[in-house]
């Protein structure tokens, strides 16, 4: 059985575009220098409805890879991520199980969402040796829906991205049940709503306690009032209480104030507009849907 495969048209162009939009909306810096990513857990936390296309794509890639590598029903997904490589990013020769904590990885698959040469330059995937040990690297150019799959121990790299953005759906597979991401994902999905819907606090809470979510909401012309009190902090909403109110503060200010001041300005305005509360009740039935506003940044 082959230990690597390049597969065409595993995802439709439409599916690639949908995932690209998701990646652009949710990816955060971190994975490697110049690389932004959104893991399936971040998608579950920030935009649970987007799990539907993401999981469908993941399963399509998994099925295609299992078939190509003769591993039917043999691959469990250890990691799913939308990964965008920006200019300057690269990765030298390595294999994907090269750390003690990555030993459970058996296979890898990368499904490209964009086309080399038109969406970005550089960023070529290379196996260190051509197929069957042939001399010299073997290149795989990115194209929407194209998947490169390989044994996690195969040496490979990515040449520097020169321009544009190179986004991919990256999967790592395992044969160790405890490392399958699904049980953790189900635990997240079955958990309390704040775990399901909230963004990691590092993304919205400044050291001085300023809640950027509320600041962003204020910039759209709204402030949140709970039981008659203007909220400065998302954590102030008691769990399970959904009778929160949304108060209009009229037109959004075009002046961009520092977050703390903006929240304070929103507070003053909102208190004078409590009459609007009833009309606006239910506009954000669960105020943690604020995540959608946050993602639009
Ligand atoms: O994006 C690719 O083409 C491969 C990335 C890679 O090798 C990795 O993330 O380990
Ligand atoms: Fe890799």
3-state DSSP call for residue 150? strand
- Least confident among 174-183, 246-255, 260-269: 246-255
**d(C-alpha 261, C-alpha 175), whole Å:** 52
Query: 42-67: per-residue pLDDT in tens?
Result: 998 888 889 999 999 999 999 999 99
The dihedral of CA 284, 287, 289, 294: what is its sign?
positive
Window from 128-132, 140-144, 230-234, 246-250 with minimum mean pLDDT:
246-250
Q: What does the block give as tokens for 58?
A: 């993941």
Average pLDDT over residues 220-239: 57
Dig out the tokens for 223 from the structure.
Answer: 């402030």
**pLDDT at residue 261, rounded to an integer:** 44
The ligand minimizing its distance to the Cα of 126 is: 1
Task: Give the pLDDT confidence score for residue 140 in this predicted structure.
Answer: 97
- What gap in Å lies between CA 49 and CA 104, rounded to an integer? 29
Site to substitute for ligand 1 among 91, 116, 144, 153, most atoms within 8 A of C-beta: 91
Tell me: pLDDT of 252 over 60. Answer: no
Q: What does the pLDDT read at residue 12?
A: 97
Ligand 2 centroid to residue 33 C-alpha, Å: 15
> For residue 187, is pLDDT > 60?
yes
Calpha distance 70→2 (Å, rounded): 8
- Mean pLDDT value across the chain: 77
* Beta carbons within 10 angstroms of residue 164's beta carbon: 19
pLDDT at res. 125: 98
Q: Mutation test of ligand 1: which of 37, 110, 169 has the most ligand atoms closer than 8 Å to its C-beta?
A: 110
Ligand 1 pocket check: which of 27, 170, 171, 173 to mutate, most ligand atoms within 8 Å of Cβ?
Answer: 170
What confidence score (pLDDT) does residue 235 get?
53
Cα of 116 vs centre of ligand 1, distance in Å, is 15
Residues with Cβ within 6 A of ligand 1? 91, 96, 110, 125, 156, 158, 168, 170
Query: Between 221 and 47, where is the model more confident?
Result: 47
Rounded Cα gap, residues 220 and 252, in angstroms: 5
Confidence at residue 230, expressed as pLDDT on a 0 to 100 scale? 65
**Which residue's CA is the closest to the ligand 1 atom numbered 5?**
158
Pick from 183, 188, 180, 168: which is nearest to 77 by CA? 180
Which ligand has an atom closest to residue 85 CA?
Answer: 1
Question: Which protein residue has the closest C-alpha to ligand 1 atom 8?
Answer: 96
Q: How confident is the model at residue 291 (pLDDT cuts 50, 70, 90)?
A: very low
| Secondary structure letter of residue 200 according to DSSP | P
Give me ligand 2 centre to Cα 53, in Å: 24
* Ligand 1, atom 7, residue with closest C-alpha: 157
Confidence of residue 246 (pLDDT cuts 50, 70, 90): very low
Q: Where, residue-wise, is CATH 2.60.120.620 in the chain?
A: 4-191
- The architecture of the domain spanning 4-191 is Sandwich (2.60)
**Dihedral over alpha carbons 203, 166, 60, 7 (to 10 degrees):** -160
pLDDT at 209 over 60: yes
CA of 110 to the centre of ligand 2 (A): 9
Q: Which residues pair with 229 in a beta bridge?
A: 226
For a pLDDT cut of 90, what percent of the chain falls above it? Answer: 48
Exposure string of 252-283, with b = 16+ CB inside 10 Å and e = fewer, is eeeeeeebeebbbbbbebbeebeebeeeeeee
- CA–CA separation, 154 and 147 (whole Å): 16
Q: Are 155 and 92 in contact (CB under 8 A)?
A: no
For the CA of 85, the closest atom of ligand 1 is 1
Across 132-158, b (16+ Cβ under 10 Å) vs e yields eeeeebbebebbbbbbbbbbbebbbeb
Separation of first and last alpha carbons in the chain:
46
Residues 225-246, mean pLDDT to the nearest whole number: 50
**Averaged pLDDT, 266-290:** 39
pLDDT surpassing 60 at residue 266: no
Task: Give 26-81 as a 3 state SS string.
Answer: HCEECCCCCEEEEEHHHHHHHCHHHHHHHHHHHHHHHHHHHHHHCCCCCCEEEEEE
Predicted pLDDT of residue 205? 78
């Amino acid at each position: 059985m082959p230990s690597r495969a390049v597969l065409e048209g595993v995802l439709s162009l439409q599916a690639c575009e949908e995932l690209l939009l998701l990646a652009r909306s949710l990816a955060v810096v971190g994975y490697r220098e110049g690389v932004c990513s959104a893991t399936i857990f971040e998608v579950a936390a920030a935009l649970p409805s987007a799990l539907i296309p993401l999981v469908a794509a993941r399963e399509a890639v998994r099925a295609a890879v299992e078939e190509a590598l003769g591993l039917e029903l043999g691959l469990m997904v250890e990691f799913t991520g939308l990964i965008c490589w920006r200019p300057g990013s690269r990765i030298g020769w390595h294999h994907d199980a090269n750390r003690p904590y990555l030993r459970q990885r058996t296979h890898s698959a990368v499904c490209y969402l964009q086309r080399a040469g038109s969406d970005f330059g550089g960023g070529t995937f290379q196996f260190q040796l051509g197929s069957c040990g042939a001399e010299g690297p073997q290149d795989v150019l990115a194209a929407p829906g194209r998947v490169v799959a390989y044994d996690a121990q195969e040496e490979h790299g990515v040449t520097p991205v020169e321009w544009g953005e190179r986004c991919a759906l990256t999967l790592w597979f395992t044969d160790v049940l405890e490392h399958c991401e699904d049980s953790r994902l189900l635990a997240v999905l079955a958990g309390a709503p704040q775990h399901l819907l909230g963004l990691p606090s590092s993304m919205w809470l400044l050291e001085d306690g300023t809640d950027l979510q509320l600041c962003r909401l204020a910039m759209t012309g709204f402030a949140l009032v709970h039981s008659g009190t203007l909220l400065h902090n998302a954590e102030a909403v008691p769990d399970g209480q959904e009778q929160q109110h949304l108060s209009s503060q009229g037109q959004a200010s075009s002046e961009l104030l520092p977050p703390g001041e903006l929240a304070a300005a929103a507070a003053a305005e909102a208190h004078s507009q409590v009459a609007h509360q009833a009309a606006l009740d239910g506009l954000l039935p669960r105020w943690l849907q604020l995540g959608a506003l946050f993602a639009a940044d």
